[in-house]
Structure 1
Amino acid sequence: MNLVKKNYNNFPSIIDEFLKPDWFGGLQNFQTNMPAVNIKEIDTSYSLEMAVPGKSKEDFIIEIDHNVLTVSSEVKTENEQKEENGRYTRREFSYAAFRRAFTLPETVNTENINANYENGVLCIVLPKKQEALPKPKRMIEIA
C-alpha cells in the first residue's frame, strides 16, 4: 500500500515567527493537522487506523476511485461573543480539513471494505481477495 502525501503548509518559517505572538487574544496557527495513520497487514486483510479525535462518523468521506482510497473531513465552526448593545466584541471562524489518499494494492477486495469510528480512531478494514490469501501448507509424497 502506497501513501500519497501532500504538504499543505506553504508558509515560510519567517512568517510563522511573526504570527506566534498573542496579539489579539489567541495564537494564530495556519498549519493543517494531518491525522496520524497506522497500516497493518495480516493474512486476510489490511487495517488502516487514523487518529482523528473530536469528530463524529458523519464528518468523514471515504471514497474509492481507480484503486485509490481517499479519506477526507471538513468541519467549520463559528464562535461569537456579544456585548449587551448587540455589537460584536469578538467573532471567530474556524475551519479544519484534511484529505489523505492511499494507493491500494491489486490484492484488496474493494467490494467488501468496512469502516468504523470509535474512541477517536477511524478504522478501515481492507480485506484481501481470495486468490491473494496464503495457501495452507501441504505435504508432498516422494514417489
Structure 2
Amino acid sequence: MTGLMRRNNFFDDFFTKELFDFNNAGFAQSGITQPSVNVKDMDEGFEIQVAAPGMKKEDFTVNLERNVLTISSEKQSQNEEKDEDGNFSRREFNYSSFRRSFTLPEAVEHENIEAAYEDGLLKISVPKKEKSTQMLKTIEVK
C-alpha cells in the first residue's frame, strides 16, 4: 500500500510548481531593467554616469524639462532564422527600455549640460553656476 501512496516527482513538480515560473533558469531574466547610475558631485558641477554597454549613442534620449533631467532609451531587435524553404524555423523579438529622472538643484547651468557615450558609459556633465563672491560690508547701525 505504501507504493500507491508514494507520489512521482514529475507529477509533484507539475501540480505543485507554478506553471509560468519566469525566475526559472530556462527563461530570460526580465527583472533587471534599470542600468546602474553613479552621480558625482564635484566643485565645478555634477557628472552622471549611466552604465549601458552594448548600446549606441542614438539609442539614448536626454531631456531637460524645468529642473528634471530625464534619461531614457528604447531598443527593439528581431532575429530570424529561416530554413532552406524560406520558412521560419525561429524568430526572436527583444525589446528593452529604461527611464531615469533626476531633479537638478537650482544652482546648475541648464544651457551648458552635455552628454557623451563612449565604451558602454553614458556621461552627462551638469555644470554648476559660478558662486558669486560677495564683498563683506559692515553697515553701521544708527
TM-score (norm 1): 0.74
Partner of 1:130, secondary structure, is coil
What does residue 21 of structure 2 align with?
18
Alignment partner of 1:84 is 2:69 = no
Classify 1:123/1:80 alpha carbon distance in 2 versus 1 (closer, same or farther; 3 Å). same
What does residue 51 of structure 1 align with?
51
Show the 5 A alignment for 1:1-143: 18-19=21-22, 20=24, 22=26, 27-131=27-131
Distance 2:100 2:19 in 1: 24
Post-superposition Cα deviations, 1:50-85, rounded to whole Å, max 9, x if no partner, equal 100011111100000010000001110000111111
Distance 1:88 1:35 in 2: 33
What does residue 11 of structure 2 align with?
none
What does residue 8 of structure 1 align with?
none
Offset of residue 36 of structure 1: 0.5
Partner of 2:111, secondary structure, is helix
What does residue 9 of structure 1 align with?
none
Classify 1:92/1:47 alpha carbon distance in 2 versus 1 (closer, same or farther; 3 Å). same
Percent of aligned pairs with the same amino acid:
43
Q: Which runs of 4+ in 1 moved over 4 A?
A: 14-17
Distance 1:118 1:112 in 2: 20
Unaligned runs of 5+ in 2: 1-16, 136-142
Post-superposition Cα deviations, 1:17-43, rounded to whole Å, max 9, x if no partner, equal 712253xxxx33332421111111111
Post-superposition Cα deviations, 1:101-123, rounded to whole Å, max 9, x if no partner, equal 00000011110001111111100
Count of matched residue positions in the alignment of Structure 1 and Structure 2: 118
Higher relative contact order (CA 8 A, sep 6+): 1
Report which of the two structures shows the higher radius of gyration computed on alpha carbons.
Answer: 2
Distance 2:98 2:87 in 1: 34
Distance 2:68 2:121 in 1: 21
TM-score (norm 2): 0.75
Does the CA-based 8 Å contact 1:79-1:91 persist in structure 2? yes
Distance 1:62 1:120 in 2: 16
